[in-house]
Structure formats: structure tokens, C-alpha cells
Amino acid sequence: MPGGDAREAAKTVTGSFADGQGMPYLAELPARGPGADMTGRTIGMLVEMYGHVEPSGWRISDRPGRDTRRARSWLGEDLDALEEFTQGYEGLLKVQAVGPWTLAAGLELRGGEAMLGDPGACRDLAGSLAEGLRSHLAEVRRRMPGAEVVLQLDEPSLTAVLLGRVRSASGYRTYRAVDRQVVESALRDVLAVAGEDGTTIVHSCAPKCPSRCCAGPGWTESPSTSPSSRSVRRRRSGKRSKAAPSCSSAWCPPPTPPRGHCQTRAVASWGSGRCGAGWG
């Protein structure tokens, strides 16, 4: 969302769905600077992993520095604002984070190369992200006890990771393609933190997104008005409840495999027919 006022953003996203169409969400306000963008916010959620901003983008750190603390502070501010405007709310509430593979493609190791080039680092990153999201979801549920939390992982670089198209720091070579089974396993491990009753979504704006990578029993591909946008969602529980809305992308530029900040943005609506209604 544009702007930098957390309370105004929370008021807008909750007021937009007062008629029962769509669902409120935890907004992202990247105009505030590094740490408020989708990549920085997700790095702030990591457990026992930290990041700082270099001219080339986000890089792993030995300890939490100013950039990590700022990302966590802004996330807390956004949660405070959303809690204020969702008192007594019952229904769907979406939170989103960058998925493990887009994060691995955009977060640099200390030497400047992407974590994607180190399989061990990718495993550690996925584990740290899973633990961070587990804590984040618990905090959201504590603050908004009547909400049914929907977890969305944004994976705009998923196609590039699978096809070996993510470029190295020098730009003269690309990282080796990651095996589909490895990609799928990491995604499922991270999504599992939503719990058996949780609704989860994997969204990618990449052309020819391999939605089958996440498909399986209980998974469905959401319809889209754009051939370059795909969302795969799953209702994990067999219990009947309000279904997660489909993601209908109104505009979605083809992504550039990220180095540092992920610039891919999707403007979409969640069953409301209004462009931009359901995205942070």
C-alpha cells in the first residue's frame, strides 16, 4: 500500500471489507523504507537469523542490527494498528510473507552471493522462516482471537529458481536449478506452521508458474484474470467453514529475479471485484 501511516492503512483495509466482501489483511507499507518492504518484513520474522541492508540488497548478519530491529518495530506497529481496528472481528484475516525460495534468491550470504547457491543455507533459512511464521501466527491469533488467519507465501521467483534463471552477484552466471522435490518439500514444511485447521496460499506472479509444484490432495488453483499470476490454496482441515477467497489478479508485471529488494508487486482483489482490495 502507498503511504507510511500504519493506523490509516489498517483503517482503510478493514473499512474496505465492511460489506462482508473479501477480507482484511496485515498491510505492508514499503514507502517507509527498508524493513517495511515485503523482503525486509520477512527477514524481521526470522528466528536466529538476521539481515542488514547493503547497496546490493539484504545480506545476512551475525547479530540483529539497526535494519532488523527497524523491521521488527514496524511489524509491531502494523499489528498494533490492525488490532485496534479489528476489535470484535470474526472472519478471514490474511497475513503474508515472502516464501523460502524467493527469500533465498534475494538474501545474500556474507560474501555477497545469494543463499540460493548454498543448499545447507537454504535449509536453515526455511527452518528459520517456519519458526518465525509460527510465532507470528500465534501473535496474530492472540491479538485477533475471532479471526480465521490465512497464511499467504509470496513466491515471485519460484519459476526462476526451478529453471535456474536466478543470476549471481556478478551477473555473468546463474545459480543451478533447484530440484522440484526439494522446492516442494520446503514449501510444505513452511506452510505446515498454519496447523491442520489453517488455510494457506502460495502466490506467484511469475510467467508459467509451476502451480503443480504445490498441488496435491486438498489443493486448488485459484482462477486469475492474468495468465502470469497463479495462486494455489489449501484448506487443510476437512471441516466445513468459510472458504478462502480466490485471488483474481488485475495486473501483475513479470518479475525480475531479485537481488536484494523484491520489486515484484501484484495488484489483486479477493473476491471483491475491486483492484487492489486484498494486497499489502
Q: Quick check: 4 and 37 in contact, CB under 8 A?
A: no
* Sign (positive or negative) of CA dihedral 136, 139, 141, 144: negative
**pLDDT digit string (tens) for 154-192?**
999 999 999 999 999 888 899 999 999 999 999 999 999
For residue 198, give the C-alpha cell: 489453517
pLDDT at 229: 46
pLDDT at 51: 95
What's the pTM? 0.78
pLDDT at 233: 56
Distance CA 129, CA 51 (A): 13
Those residues of the chain that have pLDDT short of 70 are 16-21, 208-280
Distance CA 73, CA 114 (A): 26
Q: Cβ-count burial of 119 within 10 angstroms (0-12 exposed, 13-18 middle, 19+ buried)?
A: middle
Ramachandran bin of 126, using left for φ above 0, alpha for ψ from -120 to 50, beta for the remaining angles: alpha
pLDDT at 125: 97
Pairing of strands 219-222, 248-251: unpaired
Please tell me the total number of residues recorded for the chain in this structure: 280
